[in-house]
Amino acid sequence: MITRLLPSAALTGMLVSPALAGTEIEITVEIPRLSVAEYHRPYAAIWIEKSDQSVAADLAVWYMLQNSAKGEQGSIWLKDLRTWWRRSGRNQTMPIDGVSGATKPPGVHKLSFRNTSPQLKSLAPGEYQLVVELVREVGGRELVRVPFTWPAARTAATGKVRGSHEVGEVQITVKP
């Protein structure tokens, strides 16, 4: 009986395996080094947006958890990430496990998500946009969008865009 099950189990594994293969999203976000008199690390929100501009998944929110000099919670300034705040942020309780973290210094920052991660496991196949919004105290605000298809077809697909001042290059690679 076991010998009869093994071929069909192997065949089932081959049929199911491609659909469940390690689909993955890799993201790089560049925070440029700005030459300004008073520099503050930006607050950032990174999310996946559906075609109707609703939020499909929050991927990352970087903010100052607490300003010990002023004794205030950094989360009160999250509303300055205006687009993210209106679409998702005001409905969240911070911090969000696996999503929120500290602000990042200038440089290139990498994020990676597998199809089994909480952010992606309920993401239906379709057309989406990766959205990155950055805002700085005594600085500017900028939002960029990079369209992508989920899941990737047979080969990896890459999209990128460069912001004009607060955001450097943002790249998304969707791997099958």
Is residue 110 scored above 60 in pLDDT? yes
User: What is the DSSP track for 57-123?
Assistant: EEEEEE--SEETTTTEEGGGGGGGSHHHHHHTGGG--SSPTTTEE----SEEEEEEEETTSTTTTT-
How many whole angstroms separate alpha carbon 44 and alpha carbon 114? 21
With cut-offs at 50, 70 and 90, classify the pLDDT of residue 13: very low
Question: Residue 44: which pLDDT band, with cuts at 50, 70 and 90?
Answer: very high
Quick check: 126 pLDDT over 80?
yes
Q: What pLDDT score does 17 carry? A: 39
Q: Tell me phi and psi for residue 166, to 5 degrees.
A: -85, -30
> What pLDDT is recorded for position 12?
40
Q: Could you tell me the residue ranges of all domains in the chain? A: 21-175
Q: Please give the average per-residue pLDDT across 103-120, as a whole number.
A: 96
What percent of the chain has a predicted confidence (pLDDT) above 70? 84
* pTM, two decimal places: 0.84
What pLDDT score was predicted for residue 14? Answer: 40
pLDDT of 141 over the 90 cut: yes
Residue 98 confidence (pLDDT): 85
Residue 165 in this model has a pLDDT that exceeds 60? yes
pLDDT at 103 over 80: yes
Q: What is the mean pLDDT of residues 71-79?
A: 78
Domain 21-175, architecture per CATH: Sandwich (2.60)
Which tokens go with 86?
Answer: 């209106």
